[in-house]
Structure 1
Amino acid sequence: MTHAPIDARAKGRIPALDIARTLALIAMAVFHFTFDLEMFGHVPFGTATTGFWRALAVGTAGSFLFLAGVGLWLAHANGIRWTAFLRRFAVIVGAAALVSIGTYLAFPHAFVFFGILHSIALCSLLGLAVLRLPVVVIAALAVAVFYAPNFLSGPMFNAPYWWWSGLQTIPLSTVDYEPIFPWFAPFLAGIAASKLASHFGIWARVTTQTPTRAARLAGLPGRHSLLIYLIHQPILIGIVWSATQLLR
């Protein structure tokens, strides 16, 4: 499948994407607030990992990866801009390292060794290899990656240096875990959807340099999603801890 020349890469912000990131951030904050309430004993144990709350966590992580895939295509549709890519990649890797260090200090037995930022970083590298493939092939790869754990998992992946893959057969203790299989799937889906949108000229229609005031305000958190991701949990934990002390 061919696609029309990309015409939305840097003409202006795409408010819809900023707003989508804002919505994902809200969902993330709601889930983590529930997680923190459970951690401090205000809701029953297992609340955040079952039922609706588990579905919210999976949906939120998937949306971040999907949007990252969309962004990768928009940024590099006309050719990989290596300087920009490597700068962004370094920032994400650095942020992922901060998350690992911070969670190791707080939860040494369940720290984040391959969470959402680690996954976005590796998916971004892998995603460069598929940008030029036809949409139908990328979509098929997304399906294959999603179902791969059902067929490829095995004891040979149980060593720690394979845990990024998600193909191990042993349970892991970590508070956030998005390995490549199956989480590369929503990233690939984002690339495919973004390429398809380019083909039909959708990005040209939704891109504007003068969004409405409401759209700017709604998208503002989404424009700073990485910063909000890094600071929101310490703030939420501080709020729940303070409330817990007051209620004692």
Structure 2
Amino acid sequence: MENSMKFNSQESDPSAMRIEDWRRALSYDDIVGPVYNQRDDQWYIDPRSRTNRNASMSLVVGIPFEPSIGLYRIPNEIALQLGLVRAEPVATPPMTGLALREIFSSSELDFSKLTTPDSAVELVTAIAVDEGKLMNGGIGAGIRMVGYVTREAVDMTFEKGLATFYSRSRDELWTKGESSGNTLTVQRVLADCDLDTVLYDVIASGPSCHTGMNSCFEINTAEQ
């Protein structure tokens, strides 16, 4: 609404209206308002009828609105009396860097979140991210792949130093690159705030996606 209507910075005749007049005008179902304009931090009222944009509401509400002018500004003191107070934005604490929780054992993780009563396997999500991209350039720029891990998969990752996952379709553990050579050497294992998702901070040897792309989130546009 704000972008399609012009705003009238002059209060014109409505500036002399009493608070009772404004309340009566705003209570009428067919009138448009109040409208808040973020650009100038002001409230406005549209004198035109909702159902007939060429008709003035002046005769209906008894207020001298001229529809050709556009939106009339509601004086600040009137806006306050009407309770049209803009909420103050909530202050956001400054970013002090990415907080990372490094773990050293599968026992530190919570495997209950993805486990259903009929599930025989306890799983958490695992995301493999290029080393260095975690802090520089954002996580999204370095995501290699996403999979699932069991306790045993995490323990094997610590033991071998290579990203190991659990295959739900084959019901077995598998180490990335075991057959292809495109391994993910794990530098650190990190957990989220709920301890139900892990990040493998990795150094990749070759592409990580079965399509031949570096990331499973990359699209080979040459094939499209």
Q: What TM-score comes out, normalization by structure 1 length?
A: 0.19
Q: Is the helix fraction higher in 1 or 2?
A: 1
- In our comparison, the structure showing a higher alpha carbon Rg is 2
Greater share of residues in strand: 2
The TM-score, its normalising length taken from structure 2, stands at 0.20
Q: Higher relative contact order at CA 8 Å, sep ≥6: structure 1 or structure 2?
A: 1
